[in-house]
Amino acid sequence: MLFVLKFTFDPDHTHRVLEMWKHFRFPSEVKVINRYILIGKHVSLAIFDAPDAESILKITAPFSGLGVAHVTPAMPLEEAIRVSW
């Protein structure tokens, strides 16, 4: 299932968050679609495919002391339109 991770962090932790993302390895069962940093917003985003909640915890736990993670399931718009009819 697709997920979007929005991680909001304290500006004082910017360097540490970027260093962690630089070296972070996603669990083998997770397929990363892409990662982003929102310039000037102290927010990073990741879009990934994961099989379960345990995989999500493996991603968010290492960053928990530096900010707040919000993970939301997602689906392509075309699929949502097709399913809703």
CATH H superfamily, domain 2-84: Dimeric alpha+beta barrel (3.30.70.1060)
How far, in Å, CA of 18 to CA of 81, rounded? 36
Structure confidence by residue, pLDDT tens digits, 35-53: 998 998 999 999 999 998 8
Q: What average pLDDT score do residues 4-31 get?
A: 91
Q: Which residues, other chains included, contact 20 with Cβ-Cβ below 8 Å and sequence gap of 6+?
A: 62, 63, 66
Cβ atoms 15, 37 nearer than 8 A: no
Task: Name residue 61's beta-bridge partners.
Answer: none
Residue 85: predicted pLDDT: 66
pTM: 0.83
Domain segments of the chain as ranges = 2-84
Residue 24 has pLDDT above 80, yes or no: yes
